[in-house]
Structure 1
Amino acid sequence: MTDIEGIGGWVLRRALMTPSRTAVVFGERCWTYAELASRVRRLAVRLREEGVRAGDRVAYLGANHPAFVETMFAAQLLGAIFVPLNFRLAAPEIDYMLRNSGSDVLVYGRGSAEVVRELESRPGLVIAVEEPEPGERDYEAFLAEGEDEPVQAPVRGEDIALILYTSGTTGKPKGAMLSHANLVWNTYNLLVGVDVTSEERTLISAPLFHVAALDQCLLPTLLKGACAVITPRWRVEEVFELIERRGITLLFGVTTMFADLAASPRWADADLSSLRIVMSGGAAIPESLIRTYQRRGLVFCQGYGMTETAPGATFLEASESARKVGSAGVPTMFTEVRVVGADGADVAPGEPGEVLIKGPNVSPGYWNDPEATAASRTGDGWFRSGDLGKLDEEGHLYVVDRVKDMFISGGENVYPAEVESAIFTHPAVAEVAVVGVPDDKWGEVGCAHVVPREDAALTLDELREHLQPRLAGYKIPARLEIREELPKTGSGKIQKSHLHPADES
C-alpha cells in the first residue's frame, strides 16, 4: 500500500476545510478545528524533539480529556503508536502494559497520579496533564514550547496506529494492534450504517480507552467536522443537562448507562428532542429497556464487535431495531461474518456456532504475541471471536453465549483467569473458580467460588480488600461462595457450568 497521511492527518485536513467550526467541547472550554490542529502540531513537534519517532509507543493514562485526543493525533502525526490505558486498572496492571508495549512516553491525568507514583517501570518521558511531580513535565508548558510548524511522517495503511489492551484468558492482557487502515475501514463501516453529519454534537462520556467510544464516536465525529462534547465520566444529571444545554444529537453508552438514565426522576420530563442517534455497545440491550426508550421516541442503533475488529463487525440500523429486537444486526458494509460448527463449516440458520469475522477492519494480531495471533485465526484467515452466535433466515446475528469464560460487567470485559490468578495470592485460598452471575445494575458481576486452605477462613470483605491493590474495581468479585470442593471432570478440570450461587442452586 502506498504512503498515506494516516489518522494523524484527519484533524489537519478538517482545519483546512472547516477551521472555525467547533471540534471539541470540555466543560466550558471549546476548541475550533484550527485551534485543535495547532495544538496537535505543537505537541508533535515537542515529542519529536524528545526523540519520538515512527513506531515508538506513546501511552496515555487518565479519564476522558482533550489531552487524550491531542496526544493520540500528535503521536500518529509522527507515525508513532498510541497506547490508551484503562485508568481503572491498578498499578501492577499498568506496569505490565507499559513494559509489554515498550512505551517511551506516558501522559497521564490528575486522577491517575497515585497509580503513576506506584509504577515500578516508568517511561523516560512522563508528562502530567495537571500538577506534575518532580521529574515530570507539565503538559500545557510542554505543548507551548513547540513550534506550530508542519510535522507529518508518511505512514502505510498497514502501519500500527493503536495498541489496545484486552484481558487474556491466560490471565495476562494482550495488546490488540489496530492499523491506520483498520481505523479507516471501521469508520467507513460506521458512516454507512449511521447518518453522522457535520452538524452532530456527540456526547462522549464512555471512556475513550475503549474501542467503541474512540472508534465509533470520536473518530467519525471529527472526520465529519462535527463537535465532540467530552466529559471525564458518565454522570446521569450531567448527561441530562448537556443534552438540553449543548443540544446533544448523538449519544453512545452501554446497558448500565442507559438504564441509569431511564431510572432517573428526570427521565419522564427531560427535553431529549435534540437526540437523533442513540448507539449502544458492550452487551446486548434488554428488550424492556429498548421499549422504554422507544416510548420516548428514541431508537437504539446496536452492534456487535470487539477490540480486535476495531470494533464494528455487525450493525443493526435504527429502522430495524423494533422488528429485530435482541439482534446485533447484519455484517457491516465492508466486513464478512460467518457462524460455524466445530468442523469449521457454516451452520444452518438458527443453529448456534462460533462467530468468525473477516475484513479490512480486523486487527493484524497481538503485540509481541505471535502465538496468540495464530490461535485467533482459522487456517484460511478468519478471526475467531470466541463467541457463540446464530444467524436467522435474513442474516441477522444473535449472540447467544460465549465460548470463553469472559463475562461483561457494566460494559467492561472481565476474564476470570486473571481474577482467579489474583485471588490465588491470598494465603487462605486453596482453589478458586470465578464465574459471572446476573446483576440488575451491572448486567453481570463476578462470583468467586473458593475452597479455603485447611483451618483457614475468608470473608468477602477480606477478599475484596486483598484484591483492591491488584485489580481494577470492576474485576473484583461482588459475591463469594465458600465451598468444600469444586465440581471437576474426570481429568480434573473445573466444571464452571456446574457452579451457581447458593441461592440459585
Structure 2
Amino acid sequence: MDNAGLGGWPARRALMSPDRTAIVHSGRSITYAELAARVDRAAHRLRAEGVRAGDRVAYLGPNHPSFVETMFATHALGAVFVPVNTRLAAPELDHVLTDSGASVLVHASALPEPIRRPGTVVALADYEDWLGPSPAEPVDVPVSRDAPAFILYTSGTTGRPKGAVLTHDNLVWNTYNLLVGMDIAGSERTLVSAPLFHVGALAQTLLPTLLKGGTAVLTPGWDVDRVYDLVEGERITWMFGVTTMFADLAASPRWRTADLSSLRHLLCGGAAVPETLIRTYQERGLTFCQGYGLTETAPGVTLLEARESVRKAGSAGPPVFFGDVRVAATGEVLVRGPNVTPGYWNDPTATAAAFLPGGWFRTGDVGRFDADGHLHVVDRLKDMFISGGENVYPAEVESALVEHPAVVEAAVVGVPHPRWGEVGRAFVRYAEGGGPTEEELRAFLATRLARYKIPAHVDVVPALPRTASGKVRKSELRHLPIR
C-alpha cells in the first residue's frame, strides 16, 4: 500500500479484523470491512469533486460515522481535513472556511449567513446519496507521513483563530505515546462523547481505538444520563473527557448506583483537574488519569500512568515517551518531539514566534517539575483561560466587544467558576452617553462569538488601569471583587 498516512488505516485494519465492530452510533454498528468500503466510496466521491493532495476538506457537525469516513477519505487522497467547531458564530466560521481555503464542506445543520461557501457543500441529510455506489477499486494514493493531515483552529490571541497544522506523523507519534502510557487493548469499547473537532477526543480516543481494532461508540453530544446508559449497555471500557464532564457525572443521582464495572480507563484533559474530583473517582474504584497537552502537540505532552494515578493525583504526569519537556528560566513549559506541529497555516509570523532555537515549542503555560519528574502546570503566561474545557483568548473577545459602537475599550480576564473552571469577566468603557445593558451587550456578542466565549460578568468602568507603557494591568482586574 502506497499510503503511509492515516488514510491507509481503514484498509489495513480491515485486512486484520474485518468482522470486528469499528463504530457504534445510535444503535447502528459498522464493521472494519464496512468502514473501509465506505471510506473508499467517500474518497472516490471527493476525487470526483476535484479533491487532490493538499486540498482542504471541512466537516461541521456532531460526532457521527460520516465524520470518521470523510476524515479517512480525505487522508486517503493526501488532502487535509479541517474539523470545524460547531460552537462557532458565523464570523468565526467564515474565517475558518476562508482561511483554510476548503473546497468541500460536509455539514450537519443549516449554515449561517453570511459565510464563504466552498465549491461543494454536502448536507448530512444527503450524505448517503452523495456517496454513490461502491467503486470498482480502492483508492491508493502515495501519501508520506510528513504531509499535513489536519488543520485544527484554535482561538487567536490577536482576535483571529489560528490554524494549527498537524501532520500524519504528528498523530501517529501521539498514538504511540498514548499506547506506551496506557494499556489499550483491541477489545476496548471506547465512549467518544467529547466532540471530535477537539484534538482530545480525536487523537486520545478515536484514533488509538481504531488502530488497535477496538470499538468507538460515538455520541452526538454530551448528556449525562445517556452516558450512564451507554456505559452500562455497551460495557464501555474507556472514555476521555474534560473536567466539566467528569464533574457532571459525579454530581448525577446515578453516580452511586450505576454499574461502572466495565470501565478500565478514565482519561481527563483540557484543564487542571481538582484533586477532590480525582479522589471522588478513585473512591468509586475507578482509575482516573490526567494528562497535559495542546492542540499544537497533537495533543499529548505528559501523561500520568494508571499505576501512579493514586500516589501522584493532581500531577499532569511525566513527559510522554517519545517527547521532551523542559521548563525555561521564565517558568514557561517548552515541548519538543515528533508530535509537535510544524507551524500555523498561512501564518509564518505566528509560527516563528511559537518556537525557540532547537525546535522547542512555546506552550505559553507556566509549570514546574517535582522531585519525581512529574509536571505540575501552575499558571499561564498568556491571558488565555479555559472554560468548560474550551480555550478562550481574551483578545478575541475584546475585539468583538469593541465592534459595538458604544464600547470605547475593553479588557477580558478569566475568573474562577465552580462548574466551568473559569468564565470570562469583561471590563468595558463606554463612550459619552452610555451604552447597552449587560444583557444587550451579551446579545450583541452572541452574533459574533461562540457561547462559551461570552463573558459571564460585565463591569462598566470609567477607565482601564494601565502601565506606564499603556498596557492594561490585567493582574489588577483579576483581583477585583465581583459584585
* Alignment match, 1:243: 231
Q: Is 2:398 the counterpart of 1:420?
A: yes
Match of 2:123 among 104, 125, 128: 128
Q: Is 2:276 the counterpart of 1:277?
A: no
Q: Which amino acid aligns with 1:129?
A: L
Q: Is 2:93 the counterpart of 1:107?
A: no
Does structure 2 conserve the Cα–Cα contact (< 8 Å) formed by 1:301 and 1:318? yes
Distance 2:167 2:11 in 1: 19
Q: Which amino acid aligns with 1:191?
A: L
Structure 2 SS opposite 1:408: strand
For residues 457-476 of structure 1, the C-alpha deviation after alignment (integer angstroms, 9 at most, x for no partner) is: 33221111001110000001
The structural deviation recorded for 1:119 is: 3.7
Distance 1:429 1:118 in 2: 25
Match of 1:489 among 456, 467, 479: 467
* Alignment match, 2:159: 171
Match of 2:457 among 476, 479, 489: 479
- Cα gap change, 1:148 to 1:495, in 2 (>3 Å): farther
Does structure 2 conserve the Cα–Cα contact (< 8 Å) formed by 1:422 and 1:470? yes
Distance 1:148 1:88 in 2: 39
Distance 2:351 2:242 in 1: 28
The structural deviation recorded for 1:4 is: 4.7
* Alignment match, 1:392: 370
Distance 2:463 2:112 in 1: 41
The structural deviation recorded for 1:196 is: 0.7
Does structure 2 conserve the Cα–Cα contact (< 8 Å) formed by 1:447 and 1:501? no
Match of 1:354 among 325, 332, 349: 332
The count of aligned residue pairs is 483
Distance 2:16 2:136 in 1: 18
> Root-mean-square deviation (CA), in Å?
1.3
The structural deviation recorded for 1:319 is: 1.4
Distance 1:146 1:171 in 2: 44
* Alignment match, 1:256: 244
Q: Is 2:432 the counterpart of 1:454?
A: yes
* Alignment match, 1:350: none
* Alignment match, 2:380: 402
Does structure 2 conserve the Cα–Cα contact (< 8 Å) formed by 1:377 and 1:383? yes
The structural deviation recorded for 1:121 is: 1.2
Aligned residue runs from structure 1 range 147-296, under 5 A: 147=135, 149-296=137-284
For residues 314-344 of structure 1, the C-alpha deviation after alignment (integer angstroms, 9 at most, x for no partner) is: 11112112211221100100000000114xx
The structural deviation recorded for 1:148 is: 5.0
For residues 92-137 of structure 1, the C-alpha deviation after alignment (integer angstroms, 9 at most, x for no partner) is: 1111111111101000013xx1xx241431100001111xxxxxxx
Gaps of 5+ in 2: none
Does structure 2 conserve the Cα–Cα contact (< 8 Å) formed by 1:433 and 1:448? yes
TM-score norm. by structure 1 comes to: 0.94
The structural deviation recorded for 1:502 is: 5.2
Distance 1:504 1:125 in 2: 48
Aligned residue runs from structure 1 range 378-389, under 5 A: 378-389=356-367
The structural deviation recorded for 1:51 is: 1.0
- Cα gap change, 1:362 to 1:90, in 2 (>3 Å): same
Distance 2:370 2:479 in 1: 33
Distance 1:50 1:375 in 2: 37
The structural deviation recorded for 1:390 is: 0.4
Match of 1:435 among 413, 427, 431: 413
Does structure 1 conserve the Cα–Cα contact (< 8 Å) formed by 2:414 and 2:478? no
The structural deviation recorded for 1:244 is: 0.4
- Cα gap change, 1:274 to 1:85, in 2 (>3 Å): same
The structural deviation recorded for 1:421 is: 0.3
* Alignment match, 2:53: 54
* Alignment match, 2:87: 88
Distance 1:269 1:170 in 2: 48
Structure 2 SS opposite 1:279: strand
Does structure 1 conserve the Cα–Cα contact (< 8 Å) formed by 2:466 and 2:472? yes
The structural deviation recorded for 1:485 is: 1.3
Distance 1:301 1:152 in 2: 38
Structure 1 SS opposite 2:244: helix
Distance 1:461 1:117 in 2: 23
Q: Which amino acid aligns with 2:231?
A: I
TM-score norm. by structure 2 comes to: 0.98
- Cα gap change, 1:3 to 1:337, in 2 (>3 Å): farther
* Alignment match, 1:349: none
Query: Percent identity at matched positions?
Result: 64
- Cα gap change, 1:117 to 1:472, in 2 (>3 Å): closer
Does structure 2 conserve the Cα–Cα contact (< 8 Å) formed by 1:481 and 1:501? no
Structure 2 SS opposite 1:247: coil
Distance 1:190 1:270 in 2: 28
Structure 2 SS opposite 1:233: coil
Does structure 1 conserve the Cα–Cα contact (< 8 Å) formed by 2:408 and 2:431? yes
Q: Which amino acid aligns with 2:367?
A: G
Does structure 2 conserve the Cα–Cα contact (< 8 Å) formed by 1:189 and 1:334? yes
Q: Which amino acid aligns with 1:143?
A: L
Q: Indicate the larger mover: 272-281 or 149-158.
A: 149-158
Does structure 2 conserve the Cα–Cα contact (< 8 Å) formed by 1:41 and 1:148? no
Structure 1 SS opposite 2:327: strand
Distance 2:481 2:64 in 1: 43
